[in-house]
Amino acid sequence: MKILNVNAARRITCATIFVVATVSAASAQDAPPAAPPAASAKRGPRQPPPPKPGVSTPGVKREMTAITPDAVYAIEGTPDWQVITDEAVWVSNGPKNTIHRLDPKTNKVEAAITVARRPCSGLAAGFGSIWVPSCGEKVVSRIDIKTNEVTAVIAATPSQSEGGIAASPEAVWIVTDAKGVLSRIDPATNKVTAEVEVPPNSAGATYGEGLVWITTPDKNLLTGVDPKTNKVTFTVEVGPRPRFVTTGAGSAWTLNQGDGTVSRVDAKTGKLVTNIEAGIPGSGGELAFGNGHVWATAFQIPISEIDPAVNQVVRQWTGAGGDSIRVGHGSVWLSNLREQNLWRISLSGLK
């Protein structure tokens, strides 16, 4: 989600657009603001980030302007982290301290739920709930997916704003200390019941292929934790500065901010399979698995589609947009933080 992350409007031509409101703010998944210059220094114009190269494979690149979204949601604040459930798509909104529930049947915002201040570090779904870390109040809020109400606030501090939270069949997991603490939250008691030692400064978290997966950006590591035993199964070196992580096709995948590659690790052996060139280095971004493929997002290159059968980017869209990405309900869901909206794009509409 995991492993993080807003200011111009764009023209959007589409058959059907559903607009709820307009927005402006900053995100947990974007890069932190630069330190102010010294008083004696001359303040020059802010320099744009260097362009991301993307892939050079002929026929792979496309333009975002060629996409016609099925729906466009504009939400007061900034739509950011996402998680998908059977009946809804959930989107965090840090500046407004809310989680928005989107109805994929009507393409409307069903609810805006107030949570602890400054939701950050991903969203997770499990145990009939949405789990929301908060960097402002250093807790995790639990939302009942039937009532859209917060039912518990749990003392568990997200270690990093660009991180992640995971739900396995046994528990909910989040890194809560930069010293290297992965906390296990018991959904029956809404309390932390165990702590697992992982590498210091770990960040992203997800569950899949039977393990909880944790990224450590400054050590270039991916760690697999057995949720049944609370023990580390293996730790493997991947590409530089891995942060976001997803699972699928018998593997764990990391988005490496250092060089813009995506690493594939075999979930059974814990061995690195390959580092896939994606050309999307830098801060922010996210990674997801859906419809049999891996999907990455980054500013300037909002969608990159990786086919596990060939371990290559097979389609890549460049242009404005990007920040968080999920696949479900027959669609790609793309949070466009700087464009202040969220797109729903049918899988059949991506050419």
Residue 263 has, within 13 A of its CA and on its CB side, a CA count of: 28
Choose between 9 and 91: higher pLDDT.
91
Query: Which has the higher per-residue pLDDT, 5 or 189?
Result: 189
Per-residue pLDDT band for 17 (boundaries 50, 70, 90) equals: very low
| pLDDT value at residue 10 | 36
Model pLDDT, residue 44 = 57
pLDDT in tens, 166-201: 999 999 999 999 999 999 999 999 999 999 999 999
The per-residue DSSP string of 237-256 comes to E-SSSEEEEEEETTEEEEEE
Q: Does the pLDDT value for residue 64 go beyond 80? A: yes
Q: Which residues does 228 contact at the CB level (< 8 Å), separation at least 6?
A: 170
* pLDDT confidence band for 18 (50 / 70 / 90): very low
Tokens of 345: 């794009």
Mean pLDDT lowest among 9-13, 85-89, 144-148, 216-220: 9-13
pTM (predicted TM-score): 0.87
pLDDT one-digit tens code per residue, 237-285: 999 999 999 999 999 999 999 999 999 999 999 999 999 999 999 999 9
pLDDT value of residue 154:
98
Tens-digit pLDDT profile for residues 111-128: 999 999 999 999 999 999
Name the pLDDT band for 26 (thresholds 50, 70, 90): very low
Q: What percent of the chain has pLDDT over 90?
A: 82
Mean pLDDT of 73-83: 89
Mean residue pLDDT across the chain: 89
Sheet harboring 312-318: ordered strands across? 61-63, 312-318, 301-307, 293-298, 286-290
Q: Rounded to the nearest 10 degrees, how much is the dihedral formed by the CA atoms of 79, 115, 156, 224?
A: -30
Whether the pLDDT of residue 75 is over 60: the answer is yes
User: In Å, what is the CA distance from 107 to each residue of 17, 73, 280, 351?
Assistant: 9, 8, 30, 22
Q: What average pLDDT does the segment 306-324 reach?
A: 97
Q: In which element (H, E) is residue 216 found?
A: strand 211-216
